[in-house]
Chain A
């Protein structure tokens, strides 16, 4: 007779080998020997069967006692271990985790990606929307944005500020400020300094104490003010080495001696922390103090009185506008009151919410993946847990242990996620098109850490609870029955399939969002801007003060610069221009065709540009009709202009614009009451150039030759150079050439046209790139999920596959079965995914350019991509299924 192996199999796997040897095995053998010794004396079959049943019960009890002893020794959560401290549980959880390194790395990496993306985007949301601005009681600060009668945003004029300041009833005070450019002569040559010139209670409103010295008070900013300056922190550091004795010193700015009276602290800045210094507006010569319609880029800020709201402020300003209009007898600027934060964050709120939503989706996918991973892990321990429960362990204790593991995992993931977020935030600060004052507040601070902690705990509870619930709610009887069949339970597989389907649906939503945004970005890059931005370098030129006393000298100075730069190797075309497309500078005048009444404020607003002969070649603007400017178009010859197609169509629909005359400039001696318009003859027509932004066509445009400039002569122009090779590489040559003409000429804003376009499309690019990144991440995570489910399916059904193969199934059929199951899962995910994307893409609609939120092509492509990713992820398990060796699998399963 064959000898039977004594130790019962069902206990082998469940008890730690050391406990089995030391504790269980001797006790078990003792029981068995005792049983056998007595069995001989049992006469009836019934007595023997009853004794065997008793033995079985005793073995169960002995096993239970052994397990209990083991748990007491380990301190593991086996119920009733009151002395177990939480740290012991953490230690046990950690030991359990490092035993499965692949699971640990996968789970931590997945979590780190999800938490990292969330922490990074939240740090931007926090910096932009939540962190207070660096001013006293910043919530009461508002800006007053003016709009022209035609509805275009215009800057605030000095009389505007006076009117609003004196007549309002809702503000504690109202000030205005504007950027300005001055030249500071130093030993190193000319340096361009850009102070903020202020009028009214500017510092009083912002309410930030100076670091050194004092503010410039409202009474020191009025017309004829003494030249004083308050330094910004950055400029104080860079130009004065952060010296404390700088107060009372003087410096020469554009020929004026300016006294330094104060230094502002780090982080302060209006409109940006990069402002070098603040000076009174009243010290600047030649500002339009009494002209309501002349402005120079100034903005107004005010502080709401306590009790005043944004709405009441708006009503009050509407009343003031009407009052001024009635007194003035002509339409004035309309005022829009906005909070200072809204002014700085601009249209960032919408894209940020979209991004927050996107990373939320990524986090959901990560959570689902986590739940999936924990379920797989739970599978291996489910029967052990069920047995412990059957032996009297508290469900709470078992669940607590599982939750501790999940919390430990998510904490590790959160920690790595924060490290990743730290790196990403540095990139986001540089890459996101935000105001510097806002960018400064984007960082991983206490709020972000708190948010991440909440996130980590939420994931641990939410996605750790599911496996814990499944494990602790399992019925021991069913577990044993499923155990006898071997492999993963059917219900568990169903849960995992549902999770993967949900993952695929979420990933599809992100992929569709990314697809829509990328297509929109592609359309934006493909927009016909009217010029060729490649290989063009531009730079703004500031001539030394006093070097261009009259128009002829001014024209000659720029002609000389153009000639000198053109002599440089690599310069194909060189031109001077007042405006650079997409650069933040514009000049508008009111235009009237000959035969219609001319007025300075009525009529259509035209974008006015002064250009030298080579401008259209340098920018690659094609000629639609007529001719270019010629060297003969100089002062003394009939004034000429080139207009754009939009203007031609607007002013003379269905007529030939060539030879027609227009007025938008005035001769010397003009007054408000009796303007003397100058008529220019249209000699050429060019396409409309997108000047303000790539998305919208610009206002109608008119170009006048540099040599015939009437308005705006004396202003600083920009140089535009079309290069034969790399445009950015030409910058040193350009600087050298300009310095060769005069070392006192300052060059600023040395940028390529492509750079300006990149800045303009910054928001769309950032949104597109980030959404594409999150979409890719989501697809990758979903692929991991599919891979996991299919791998488990294959490994738990190896025996079934073996049987099928033995019965004559071909490997290709098994491969097909796995892949078709994947297709089914993906299909089930795609349907709700498409529906959710269709609902959510409407929110994305406002950011899309010439792309419908329900673009079928994008939906199809995203679904196809996801399907391909899912099939690819299932391919490896499928191939493994097809390669099952029937003999091996059957033997394993026996």
Chain B
């Protein structure tokens, strides 16, 4: 059983993106219920690392609010990101089964964001 390449936090982020593309602000809001307290720069640094690793792709969208140009960073999970996320999920499930003594499930997608 290989240890997954994703950290818990990255796993949570990718889980949100498995459902739909989201902006940075939305992802951070989605992390709140898990009591993740991370500063903006630290969060975006993590996202930059995920981008660099090819697990997510990011782009800016732009709108004008009260004569101010507002850009927002949007993120989408890549195929590589999906694979990494599934691998991590399998690891957690097996770990849980090992702890509870139940047989291993079939491969499949889960959505922790809605769990």
**Which of A's residues lie within 8 Å of B, judged by CB?**
1-6, 22-34, 36-37, 39, 61-62, 65-66, 69
Contact = CB atoms under 8 A, between A and B. Distances in A.
B66 A29 contact: no
A4 B39 contact: no
Given A3-B64, A26-B47, A32 B41 contact: no
Nearest to A66: B41
Contacts of A24: 41, 44
Given A6-B70, A62-B39, A65-B39, A26 B65 contact: no
18 contacts: A4-B68, A5-B69, A6-B68, A6-B69, A22-B44, A22-B48, A22-B51, A23-B41, A23-B48, A24-B44, A26-B40, A27-B41, A30-B25, A30-B73, A32-B70, A33-B65, A39-B66, A65-B40
Contact of A6 (B28, B43, B51, B71): B71
A33 B70 contact: yes
A65 B84 CA distance: 29
Nearest to B45: A23
Interface of B: 24-25, 28, 39-45, 47-48, 51, 64-73
B25 A33 contact: yes
Contact of A62 (B41, B47, B69): B41
A4 B41 CA distance: 23
Given A3-B67, A3-B68, A36-B65, A27 B48 contact: no
Contacts of A32: 68, 70
A91 B61 CA distance: 38
A29 B73 CA distance: 8
Given A24-B41, A30-B24, A66-B41, A2 B67 contact: yes
B41 A69 contact: yes
A25 B65 CA distance: 17
B72 A29 contact: yes
A71 to B, nearest CB: 12
Nearest to B73: A26
B87 to A, nearest CB: 26
B49 to A, nearest CB: 9
Contacts of B44: 22-24, 26-27
A167 B28 CA distance: 104
B68 A36 contact: yes
Contacts, number: 75
Given A6-B68, A32-B68, 14 more contacts: A3-B64, A6-B69, A6-B70, A23-B45, A25-B71, A25-B73, A26-B47, A27-B24, A27-B41, A27-B43, A32-B70, A33-B25, A36-B68, A39-B66
B70 A36 contact: yes
Q: Report, nearest first, the 10 A-B pairs whose CB atoms are least far apart.
A: A27-B40, A22-B48, A26-B73, A65-B41, A66-B41, A36-B65, A1-B67, A26-B44, A23-B45, A23-B41
Contacts of B47: 26
Contacts of A39: 66
A25 B40 CA distance: 10
Contacts of B24: 26-27, 30
Contacts of A5: 69
Nearest to B75: A26
Nearest to B46: A23
A33 B42 CA distance: 18
Contacts of A36: 65-66, 68, 70
Nearest to B51: A22
Contacts of A4: 67-69
B82 to A, nearest CB: 23
A30 B41 contact: no
Nearest to B58: A26
Contacts of A27: 24, 39-41, 43-44
Nearest to A6: B69
A30 B40 contact: yes
A5 B69 CA distance: 7
Contacts of B66: 36, 39
Nearest to A40: B66
Nearest to A18: B48
A62 B43 CA distance: 11
Nearest to A34: B25
Contacts of B25: 30, 33-34
Contacts of B71: 6, 25, 29
Contact of B40 (A6, A22, A31): A31
A557 B53 CA distance: 101
Nearest to A33: B70
Contacts of A66: 41
A59 to B, nearest CB: 10
A249 to B, nearest CB: 83
A30 B39 contact: no
A36 B64 CA distance: 10
Nearest to A30: B25
Contacts of B40: 26-28, 30-31, 62, 65
Contacts of B67: 1-4
B23 to A, nearest CB: 8
Contact of A22 (B45, B68, B70): B45
B72 A30 contact: yes
Contacts of B72: 26, 29-30, 33
B15 to A, nearest CB: 20
A22 to B, nearest CB: 4
Nearest to A65: B41
Nearest to B40: A27
Contacts of A29: 70-73
Residue picked from B41, B47, B71, most chain A C-beta under 10 Å: B41
A5 B67 CA distance: 9
Contacts of B73: 25-26, 29-30
A1 B68 CA distance: 10
Nearest to A31: B40
B39 to A, nearest CB: 5
Contacts of A22: 44-45, 48, 51
A772 to B, nearest CB: 61
A432 B76 CA distance: 78
B73 to A, nearest CB: 4
Contacts of B51: 22
A69 B68 contact: no
